[in-house]
């Protein structure tokens, strides 16, 4: 079994749902408490042992590259001011030199196309995909549990979580064989089923472990839901020749691509912080 070392972060989306905040700033740089959304997701990948971080970017995403680079003037100023704690924190978040790569998705053709754009950077080995919009909050990082399960059973694996029935049309939905293990064999997958037609309420949560065979399929994948090249559609084809498992995530998923999800993520992550928890809870109580 090949170890999963590389992860793709598709970050080319325009973030129109967050205008005007995202007019000049990538949506992935919006903060949940004091860390950009993309940093939270890179933290999850690091905790899972990922060594190569591949960002599929687009125009106006330069701030993401800068975020994962040394800010020389800032470091110098912090050093002069003896701000050791801040310096250490910045150093901890910095990827090792050469471990972050950036490639551009030139046209907004969908998630499947974004993943395909990273094919040469991945090469011929299984890899992870993490959708930065989706924050997975739990004591055990989601991707870490998935990689552990993958190291014993192999195949392809997708993170799933339960959503209310009236939200299934917003996600990729999977139908699984019931069982007692955390990795359930997938029976069917469908991208954004019409209201009332979903085979279950298990939604794809934006965490994937995929075999490199997916790239050949994505190369010729016709457009699907929303007129976009969908990753889920290529996975449906791959499932005919390779096993797929659904990893049911038991923590809390925040869809920060929606205003409500973004706001609740900020509340939930702030309540999780020792340095903020008590005062924040008290302040919230006075408001509601």
**Which residues contact ligand G1P by CB under 6 A?**
111, 131, 133-134, 171-172, 191, 203-204, 206, 230-232, 255
Q: Least distance (Å) from ligand G1P to the CB of residue 112? A: 8
CB closer to ligand G1P out of 34 and 165: 165
For ligand G1P, which residue has the nearest CB? 172
Q: Are strands 6-10 and 52-57 parallel, antiparallel or unpaired?
A: parallel
Q: Least distance (Å) from ligand G1P to the CB of residue 74? A: 33
Residues 120, 50, 48, CA angle at the centre, nearest 5°?
145
**DSSP of 73-88, one letter per residue?**
HHHHHHHHTT-HHHHH
**DSSP of 106-123, one letter per residue?**
-S---HHHHHHTTHHHH-
CB closer to ligand G1P out of 17 and 83: 17
CB closer to ligand G1P out of 98 and 196: 196
- Both structure tokens of 19: 């205008």
d(CA 137, CA 269): 8
Q: Least distance (Å) from ligand G1P to the CB of residue 200? A: 13
CB 118 within 8 A of CB 54: yes
Residues 135, 75, 25, CA angle at the centre, nearest 5°?
40
CB closer to ligand G1P out of 48 and 203: 203
Q: Least distance (Å) from ligand G1P to the CB of residue 232? A: 5
Q: Least distance (Å) from ligand G1P to the CB of residue 189? A: 8
Q: Least distance (Å) from ligand G1P to the CB of residue 121? A: 21
Place of tokens 């457009």: 223
CB closer to ligand G1P out of 36 and 206: 206
d(CA 129, CA 19): 26
CB closer to ligand G1P out of 160 and 183: 160
**Could you check whether the bond before residue 20 is cis, i.e. omega within 30 degrees of 0?**
yes
């Amino acid at each position: 079994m090949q170890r999963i070392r590389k992860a793709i972060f598709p970050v080319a989306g325009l973030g129109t749902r967050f205008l005007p905040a995202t007019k000049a700033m990538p949506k992935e740089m919006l903060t949940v408490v004091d860390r950009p959304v993309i940093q939270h997701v890179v933290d999850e990948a690091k905790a899972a042992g990922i060594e190569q971080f591949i960002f599929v970017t687009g125009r106006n995403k330069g701030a993401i590259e800068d975020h994962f680079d040394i800010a020389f003037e800032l470091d110098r100023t912090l050093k002069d001011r003896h701000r050791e704690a801040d310096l250490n924190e910045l150093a901890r978040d910095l990827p090792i030199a050469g471990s972050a790569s950036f490639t551009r998705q030139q046209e907004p053709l969908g998630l499947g196309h974004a993943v395909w754009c990273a094919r040469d950077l991945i090469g011929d080995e299984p890899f992870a995909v993490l959708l930065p919009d989706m924050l997975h909050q739990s004591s055990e990082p989601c991707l870490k549990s998935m990689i552990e399960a993958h190291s014993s059973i192999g195949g392809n694996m997708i993170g799933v979580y339960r959503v209310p029935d009236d939200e299934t049309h917003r996600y990729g939905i999977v139908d699984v064989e019931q069982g007692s293990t955390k990795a359930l064999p997938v029976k069917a997958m469908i991208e954004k089923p019409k209201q009332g037609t979903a085979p279950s309420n298990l939604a794809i949560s934006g965490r994937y472990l995929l075999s490199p065979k997916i790239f050949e399929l994505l190369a010729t994948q016709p457009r699907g839901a929303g007129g976009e090249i969908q990753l889920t559609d290529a996975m449906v084809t791959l499932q005919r020749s390779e096993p797929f498992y659904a990893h049911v995530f038991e923590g809390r998923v925040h869809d920060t691509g929606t205003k409500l999800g973004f706001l609740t993520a900020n509340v939930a992550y702030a309540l999780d912080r020792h340095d903020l928890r008590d005062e924040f809870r008290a302040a919230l109580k006075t408001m509601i």
